[in-house]
Amino acid sequence: MEDFRLFLIGASAGGRMAVEKVLENLSHKTPAAFMVVVHSSFDMISSFSSYLNKKVEMEVLECKENIEIHPGKIYVGVPNQHMVVLDGKLSNTNGPRENLFRPSIDVLFRSAAVAYGNRCVGILLSGRLNDGTVGLEAIKRCGGESLIQNPKTAEFSGMPMTAQKFVEIDYTAELEDIGDLIKEIIEKPLPEEVEIPYALKREAAISTKIRSQVKTEDFLGEQVALSCASCGGPLWKIKDTGISRYRCHVGHSFSEESLLLAQNENLEETLWVCLRTLEEKKVLMLNMAESFREKGSEQIARSYSDKIQEVDEHIDRLRRIMDIRD
């Protein structure tokens, strides 16, 4: 179809209600397809598509392998699978997480932008942090358009507000007005077609086919003295992008904000392991001291007292760092 468009909708915290509001009054005769990724926990039961089917006129389908894209339908990403556009069809992939998420808004936006260029319209709704900004930037670089929910009235303003800072936004609208704005965009001519940047094609291949390698990362950016918070491998800082972000050669991708968040989580997990190990060490030494005492070896039993006291001091110090109270 000459006027066919793809509307790519990304949301996170507070996003399910927002997605429903955007799509509730759109007709199944709309000459556009809609693809939705709402960030979720990897072990969440997939139920949003069945819920949405009861609330909107268009048919809502969960993304499956090699599913054809048709106008007047809504396609929803499932937990723990990236939704990607490959050879004009939708597919699922277990590709590396981006900004700690799979499915990732950025992965969908980028793959669709590379495949459909100026036919894409990226929409960012309520959500925390800066997820979706990189994907929205990719859509713009491929000739598409960008639309965000007004950050001032979004339930969670982080995602649309960050996009506003780093990407040239074509439309900013109140949530209740986005559906009508979509209809207006469809009536307008397509933006001018542009050449798809080769670097975006390479990044899309990393996310969709897990074909990352060190040579690819050297092409995309410069290696830095940081390690991946997911796999521990080296990181490359990606060039030609408005927002600072990083990739490892496995393909994990982070903005600076999400990398810091992941490092904090890893550090907290490490501290918990240390605390548990010290507690277990204390119990073991108490048991050994009691065993020697029962055998009449009081001197050996007393020798453990200093060691137990030292462990207690380490435990107290860790508890203070972690602000844990008995």
Catalytic residues: 12, 39, 131
How far CA 66 is from CA of 40, 90, 92, in Å, comes to: 23, 5, 8
Q: Token pair of 143, please?
A: 């000739």
Contact 84, 104 (CB under 8 A): no
Cα distance between residue 87 and residue 111, in whole Å: 10
Residue from 107, 136, 115, 114 nearest 124 by CA: 136
Question: In sequence order, which residues have a C-beta less than 8 Å from that of residue 177 and are 6 or more positions away?
Answer: none
According to DSSP H, which parts of 177-221 are helical?
Answer: 178-187, 198-209, 214-220
Of 103, 143, 104, nearest to 120 (Cα)? Answer: 143
For the sheet with 82-86, list strands across it: 67-68, 89-93, 82-86
The residue whose two tokens read 């036919």 is: 119
